[in-house]
Structure 1
Amino acid sequence: MNEILKQIDLGSGDTTFKRYLLEEFVEDYEDGKMTRRDALKKIAGLLGSVAIANSILAACAPAPTPAPTAAPKANTATTASATTAPTSASVNVSPSDPDIDAKAIEISATGATLFAYLARPKKDGAYPAILVCHENRGLVEHIKDVTRRFAKVGYVALAMDLVSREGGTEKLGDRATSLLGNINPDQFVADFKSGLAYLANQSFVAQGKFGMTGYCFGGGVTWRSATQIAELKAAVPFYGSNPPLADVPKIQAAILGIYGGTDTRINAGIPEIEAALKASNKIFEKIIYDGAGHAFHNDTGGSYNANAAKDAWAKTLAWFEKYVKA
């Protein structure tokens, strides 16, 4: 299937995320996580052709019975074990939690108004800030919850809506996914630069203390942003596609890459990015959770792995404590 997908004409310009989404849709269909109808709709929306979408799906292996919603527990990681993490306590933080302020905001950018979600500790003070990049569904409630989790532990967190110019996630619904694949990746970085500029003007933000994280599609955007936003002190991309390797020397952030052991599509890129970072003497560590797959951190999805997610969250906070708060 990979060879067939490589032959698909994705158009001109930088099609990195367009190809990423195409491969993800096909993988989800072949793994039984997406019906043929949904796969056809998403691929056709991404490529602008029902005929091409049909031809791609016709070449796919028959989709198996949809996978159960409970993912297998993680066993080990390269630098930590996820086997002892408790799974009973809720990880979610309510918008009305008394310790935080959380709300939708708008940020002015060149030629556009950007939608975003801001969460911060309610107690007065200046706090380090984390940029949060959403998955391929846009700025949905799960990502808003992640920003609130950061606020709960003492960070200002800002999640940008990367389809703001197209109307925003709330308006677009499922169409946001396909639209993301047809936006120039440099625009994603520019929007996070606008978000950073907004944070730099807020009295409740500790200046010079910025980090970034993102998940799936957002992991790739986090990698790309790390190559272009020098103000980032640390970045934690979750199972994200690699940035252009030629841009790796420009990274200033300390990088913690988090991966699922069964996520073979993304993990195939680890040796290249690891070698490039090492050659440029960058700070980099990786964690691979055995038994966990792509999107294991998302507690609203079928690939959620509570043990791996809890451990990865703890490792994320420790990384930001060391490189952003310090």
Structure 2
Amino acid sequence: MSSDDKPELTTAPSQAIPQEAFDWYDEYAHGIIDRREFMMRLAGLVALGFTLSTLTGALMPNYALAEQVSFNDPTIQASYVKFPSPEGYGEGRGYLVLPSALLIPGQKAGDPKTLDPTKKAPVVLVVHENRGLNPYIEDVARRLAAKGYIAFAPDALYSLGGYPGNDDAGRAMQASLDRAKIEQDFIAAARFLKSHPQSNGKLGAVGFCFGGYIVNMLAAIIPDELAAGVPFYGTPAVTELRSRVKGPLMLQFAALDQRINDTWAEYEAQLKANKADYAAYLYPNVNHGFHNDSTARYDEPTAELAWARTLDFFGKHLLV
């Protein structure tokens, strides 16, 4: 992979859980194997001294671990808002988080009328994985707002009632939806966000797994509207659209994520042919999902480095 500079990483600490367990979870989470097959494979590790509860407890998300910025942090204002999506499911809903600095001085958060129309901020779309708007993604939106961005995290599952509270059900719900309509919902959400009254007109997007794909898709569908995109371990848009991508993009990959990494060489060749503005980072010794701090796949030093790069990238392209 190409990059403007090589990642300066130390080797990730060895995992007590065998690597194949992480690989099986990735297959399960992305519908390659079903839950029964996943659990049968995990059962095979019991002879090595693991218990199923230990394995599933480490691999399945614990969202209590994922809160870095509280929902009632005084520096942000969070609410759920709806947006029109005529080419998608008709109407969408997402988690909108604004910096409290956009409020009229002396006013309390919670009422849109308390926003100061003279104050502007860049906007960032935050796109979830293949299971709906879970607490980890909401926290990512809050992290961005705490840094001064207007962040919006739509829920692809809104037409079915929204994220159900657990990833297994959310994954099944998202798989039941029309992929083309979901994509249209996110295109509509991006445009809705860019037109926010407090937007400075600069639109960024960050997404994880399925969300990484959505960022790549947006870079192809609305290349003149997306000022900066950061896909974390996401696949590219369909082949016929890739010639439209011009960036800027910052692509983040996990070295142990062969399923996603196998798509990169062809995509990079197209980006080079496009003379696109991009940088790509391959982080050693980490798994798909290394940024998600709710599971054992999380790697703190790598996640912090990748996030620092993300913030620097957005600062460069959205704050000008």
- Superposition TM-score, scaled by structure 1 size: 0.73
Q: Distance in 1 between matches of 2:157 and 2:35?
A: 26
Q: Distance in 2 between matches of 1:272 and 1:108?
A: 35
| Corresponding residue of 2:191 | 197
- SS of 1:186's partner is helix
Q: Distance in 2 between matches of 1:55 and 1:157?
A: 37
* Identical-pair percentage: 29
What CA deviation, in whole Å up to 9, does each residue of 1:270-299 have, x standing for no partner? 111111100111111111111111100001
C-alpha deviation, 1:242, in angstroms: 2.2
What CA deviation, in whole Å up to 9, does each residue of 1:226-276 have, x standing for no partner? 211231011100011222132112124311110111111111111111111
Aligned Cα RMSD in Å?
3.3
Distance 1:61 1:305, change over 3 A: closer
- SS of 2:164's partner is helix
2:93–2:155 Cα contact (<8 Å) kept: yes
- SS of 1:240's partner is coil
C-alpha deviation, 1:107, in angstroms: 1.8
AA of the residue aligned to 2:211: G
C-alpha deviation, 1:310, in angstroms: 0.2
Distance 1:173 1:53, change over 3 A: closer
Q: Distance in 2 between matches of 1:91 and 1:68?
A: 18
What CA deviation, in whole Å up to 9, does each residue of 1:87-120 have, x standing for no partner? xxx9711111111111122223226331200111
1:228 aligns with 2:221: yes
- SS of 2:192's partner is helix
1:299 aligns with 2:272: no
Q: 2:95 aligns with which of 101, 114, 117?
A: 117
Aligned length: 270
- Superposition TM-score, scaled by structure 2 size: 0.75
Q: Distance in 1 between matches of 2:256 and 2:287?
A: 5
AA of the residue aligned to 1:212: A
| Corresponding residue of 1:103 | 79
Distance 1:118 1:265, change over 3 A: same
- SS of 2:285's partner is coil
| Corresponding residue of 2:113 | none
C-alpha deviation, 1:201, in angstroms: 3.6
| Corresponding residue of 1:188 | 182
2:125–2:193 Cα contact (<8 Å) kept: no
List gaps (5 residues or longer) in structure 2: 1-17, 60-65, 103-118
List gaps (5 residues or longer) in structure 1: 1-28, 71-89
| Corresponding residue of 1:87 | none
| Corresponding residue of 2:20 | 31
- SS of 2:227's partner is strand
2:85–2:184 Cα contact (<8 Å) kept: no
Moved more, 175-184 or 316-325: 175-184
AA of the residue aligned to 2:261: N
